[in-house]
Structure formats: C-alpha cells, structure tokens
A and B are shown apart, each in its own frame.
Chain A
C-alpha cells in the first residue's frame, strides 16, 4: 500500500515537473535556449498568488488568474527585454544562456529584496477532505494536480497540433528563416511561446505551493533544474515527452526517497538522465536529428 502511495506522490511531483518542463521544452524547441530564468518564473507565480490571496484577501480563483497573468507578463517581458535583442543579432548562443542566468539571478535577488530571504508559509487554497480511493487516503491537491496537468497537456497538444498559432510555432521551431519567408511573424510567435510556457509554469507554481506550502525566493532554481532534466529526459520538442519525463522523474525521486535515501534522490535522478542520454541522446520521445555534413 505504501508503495502505491509513493507512486501517487511521485505522480503529483511529476505533474508539476511536467508543467514546468513544457516551458523549457517549447522555448528550447523554438529558440534553442535553455531558459534558466524559467524556474524563477515559478517563484514569481507563487509570490503573485500569495500577494493576491493573503495580502489583498481576494478569492482563490482571482489569485490563480492573477498568478497566471503575472507569469505571462514576466515571461514575455523577459523575452522582449533580455533575449530578443540578442536573438535578432545572431549573438552566440552561449551569450543568450549567460543572459538567461543573469535574469535568473536578478529575479531571485529582486524577490529576496522585496519579501526577505526567509520562507513565507503559503495558505492552503483548497480546503477539501482527503478522498478515500480503495483504502488509500489521497489528498485533494494530489488528485487536482494530476488531473489538471493531464487536461492541460491534452489542451496544449490540441493547440500546437490543430490551431494556426500552433502551426506557426511548429514552423518556427523547424526553420525560423523559412518560416519568416512564409509570412510568419517569428517575433510574436516566440513571444507567444514564452507566454504560454510561463502561464503553464504559473499553474505549476500554484499547485506546487499547495503541495509544499513554503515559498522562498530560491524555490525555483532546483525545481527548474529538475524540470529541465525532465524535459531532456522525455525528449525536447515533444509534449507527451515532457509529461512522460516529468512523471518518470517524480516517481523515481519519490521511490528513492521512500526506500533508499533522501539524500541520494537527486543523484539517482541525474544518473537516470545520464544513462538515457547515452543510450538515446534525443530523449525518450524526441525526434532523432541527423547531422548533415
């Protein structure tokens, strides 16, 4: 029974990884940038929800919407201020990477300045009794997290696969220059991708803060790192891949913590990543890119 419980816990954490991983996944797919600031978007979303919920005393749904709006604005804003100039000047990709790291340090320290470095307890948003499923007591937040994640994945898959903007996203990630020649506004497509990823991260941050009710300015860095690992594990450029990667990461982490050692959980997670990359460099569900000479 406790094994099943660990798996369900893993699915919960994994869902959050998956939501955040999608942001990394889409942004990497479209501009080949490991957006290190994405992890800190989660932190921004959590603080946003906290301010609206506790300091302003507004209802839960307002807090969730405000958090999403704040993250979308932050994500698009970061793209416009910090990345677009470098992208349009064809700067070396590593400069873009360092800029992303700079933005990450900036966000962490800005929020530390505003809210202090101590953790702030996050209020429980959903006061619903645990649900009994076949003798297992599962908290409402756990079920909500998993269901919301699966629904968002399906919606996203439809958005990318069936709509016009989705087609534009796929086109830009395939070949940005050719897409531009076909009349696609690459800049607004990239901005949309950043916004979409940040919005998903906001949902992830609200769910995460409910599961682990303590928010700090640095909460995003390790969470973001693991989510990125999940994205690579599942395969960059694949939405089901991000979900699969997130779930695997979450379950492995939860089982290692439960049965082997809390300390070694991170080592096991990264070990799996290394093995997967060595066997299948494009990730579990990623496309195989052939190298042209």
Chain B
C-alpha cells in the first residue's frame, strides 16, 4: 500500500514537473503560439486515442465512429458557452461537462443496439452512426449547418488541456488496473468464458463504451474552445480513422503507446510540412511500413512505469534477481 502511494506521488510530481517546464517555456515566450497550438492538439489527440484504446484495445471492440462522439461533445459544449449567458470562466467548465454528458448519452443510446454486434459488424455499425451524427449536425439549424458554428471563445489554453489530459490518462490507467478493468480485459480475451465466469459482459461493455464516448466528448469540447469554429466536415469518417491509427500504431492495449503515437502522429504531418505535396504520401508510406514490420504496434502491450525502471536499475547496480513482486 505504501509503495503504491509512493509511486502515485512520484507520478504526480513527474506530471506536475512536465507541466511546469512547458508552462514556463510558454510564459517565457520560448514556445510561440504555433507550438502552443500544437501542444494543445497533442493533448486533445491523447485524450481521444487513450479513450478509444479503452474500447478497441482493452475491450477488444473495433469502433469506427469516435469522431462522431467527439462532434457531439464539441457542439454541445460550444452551444452551452455561446448561449448560457454566464461569464466565460464559469461557462467553460459547465460547457465541458455538458459536452461529456451529451456524448455519454449518445454513446449509451448507440451502445444499446451496437454492442450486440461483434468484430467488423460493430465497426460498420459505429461507422454508420458516426456518419448519421455528421449528417444530422449538417441538417440541423442551431448547429449552423454546413457553415458551421462560429465565434466560440478560445478558452481552452494549455493548462486546461494538460490537466484534463493527465486526468484522462490517470482515470483510464487506474480503471484498467482495477477489478472493473480486469473484467473489461477478460471480455477481450474470451467473451463466452468471461460470461461463464460470472462477469456481466453487457454492463462492462457499456461501461467502457460510454466512458470512451464521454471522454471523446470532453476532447470535442476542448477542441471547440481551441479552434473557435466547428464544421461538421471536420468530424468525418477520416478523423475516426486517424484516431484509430493512433491506437493501433501505438499498440492496442498500451496506454503509453497511445500517448506516444498521438504525439508522433500529431507532429509528423507538421514536421513533414516542408515536403509540401509529398507530405501525405510520406505519411501513408510510413504508416504502411510500420504496420508491415511491427503489426502489434510500436509498443505492443508495454506500459511505461517508473517502478519497473527503478527495479531494473537496482538489479543492475546492486545485483540480485529482478523481483516482480513489488507492484
């Protein structure tokens, strides 16, 4: 128990340390607005990738409509900020909450029929729902239709995104290590065996699905208040695929992998900007080669943990066998 507390404290310090470094760099003007925007995009993509990993990597259900949930959250949050009449500082947390809630409700409603499906059929059905959400947003009046929703105040600064990103990663990580998480993983390993062992599969599937949808909604809310303009075209099938690529490339079932892949895949298109027209061709070639030579993703199911690094260092310098009992 004590070890666990120490490890939590170390991780918290590390998270705060990274934040402080970036915050100081931004304050000092070393990181300009362009790079700050990039950091915010990375944070949003990490939330999306990690939450999709919960469903696709740990629950083992292929979902192709994550951008749909994100758009529900984005529009709900933006509409709250624009119409609530509250001061911006008070409206923003409320808006994010509304975005999460709206996405969770939509996720629940879609989950009822969709989670009866398996494998590729679940993928197709979520794809279908994702497209339906997009078309409905396009057709509605109060969402601004194809012109989009404009003039959303940009309230999502680096601090907001970083804190919420850290909380998301923490929540998913602890969930996976908990009793509920083991139930979710058991469904991935063998659904029939899990059910036979007394696990309420429908409940846990729905739990993971709704939580992932809510977090996608959160990412959507942050996105809306970062970019300032929402158009339905942004949240199409291709964006869902982009998030899925992050999950698979990082390694399904590795939260560290999702984080790393989200960072790489957000930076890669920007870094390739100097290649101009060749950018997306290179991106796709890199993707194909990665998948060909490392089909399980960059990190497989590996998780970064300070405890295991400490263990290895101790074993190297003080000798003795590497004990795995400590965690």
Binding site for B on A (CB under 8 A): 28, 32, 34, 82, 85-86, 89, 91-92, 94-95, 97-99, 101-103, 105-106, 108-110, 112-113, 221, 225, 228-229, 232, 261, 263-264, 266-267, 270-271, 273-274, 277-278, 281, 293
Interface residues of B in 119-155 (CB under 8 A from A): 120-121, 123-125, 127-129, 131-132, 135-136, 138-139
Besides A97-B62, A266-B131, 6 new A-B residue pairs in contact (Cβ under 8 A), listed by A number: A106-B284, A113-B281, A232-B124, A271-B132, A273-B124, A273-B125
Inter-subunit contact A232/B121 (CB<8 Å): yes
**Cβ proximity bits B235-265 to A, threshold 8 Å, 1 near / 0 not:** 0011001001100110010000000000000
> What separation, in Å, do the CA atoms of A273 and B129 have in the docked complex?
10
**Is A267's CB under 8 angstroms from B295's CB?**
no
- Docked-complex contact A89 and B295, CB < 8 angstroms: yes
Across the interface, B62 reaches (CB within 8 A) one of A94, A101, A263, A270, namely: A94
| B292 CB within 8 Å of chain A | yes
* Complex Cα spacing A86 to B244, Å: 19
Known interface pairs A101-B241, A263-B135. Does A94 touch B287 (Cβ–Cβ under 8 Å)? no
Give Cα A293 to B252, complex, Å: 25
Structural contact, A267 and B283, CB atoms closer than 8 A = no
Tell me, yes or no, whether B296 is within 8 Å of chain A by CB: yes
Closest to B281 in A: A109
A110-B281, A274-B125, A277-B117 are contacts. A267–B131 as well, Cβ < 8 Å?
yes
Q: Are B245 and A273 neighbours in the complex by a CB distance under 8 Å?
A: no
Instruction: Assess whether B278 is interfacial by the CB under 8 Å rule.
Output: yes
Pair B296/A95 contact, Cβ less than 8 Å: yes
Q: Please judge, given known A-B contacts A85-B292, A113-B277, whether A267 and B135 are in contact too, CB under 8 Å.
A: yes
Decide: B252 and A94 in contact? CB cutoff 8 A. Answer: yes
In the complex, the answer to whether B132 meets A270 with C-beta atoms within 8 Å is yes
B120 pairs with A34, CB closer than 8 A: yes
Neighbouring A residues of B127 by C-beta, 8 Å: 225, 270
29 contacts between A and B (CB under 8 A): A28-B120, A34-B123, A85-B292, A92-B296, A94-B56, A94-B248, A95-B291, A95-B295, A95-B297, A97-B62, A98-B287, A98-B291, A99-B287, A99-B292, A102-B285, A102-B291, A103-B288, A105-B283, A106-B281, A106-B285, A112-B277, A112-B280, A232-B121, A263-B138, A267-B131, A270-B131, A277-B125, A278-B113, A281-B117
The residue in A91, A98, A103, A271 that gathers the most chain B C-beta atoms within 10 A of its C-beta is: A98
Do B139 and A270 have beta carbons less than 8 Å apart?
no
* From A32, A95, A105, A267, contact of B284 by CB (8 A): A105
Q: Please judge, given known A-B contacts A270-B131, A274-B113, whether A98 and B249 are in contact too, CB under 8 Å.
A: yes
Contact across chains for B292 and A103 when beta carbons are under 8 A apart: no
Residues from chain B with Cβ under 8 Å of A281 in the complex:
117, 121
Contacts of A106 in B (CB 8 A): 281, 284-285, 288
B192 at the interface (CB under 8 A from A): yes
The A-contacting residues of B in range 47-63, CB under 8 angstroms, are 56, 62
Rounded to whole angstroms, the CA-CA distance of A95 and B248 in the bound complex is: 7
User: Which residues, 155 to 194 on B, are CB-close (under 8 Å) to A?
Assistant: 192
Contacts of B288 in A (CB 8 A): 82, 99, 102-103, 106
Given A263-B135, A267-B135, does the pair A105, B287 have CB atoms closer than 8 Å?
yes
Chain B nearest CB: distance from A84 CB in Å? 10
Contact A229-B139, Cβ < 8 Å, known A34-B120, A98-B291, A106-B281? no
A-chain residues with CB within 8 Å of residue B123 when the two chains form the complex: 34
A98 touches B244 (CB 8 A): yes
**Cross-chain contact B248 with A261 (CB below 8 angstroms):** no
Chain B: minimal CB distance from A44 (Å): 15
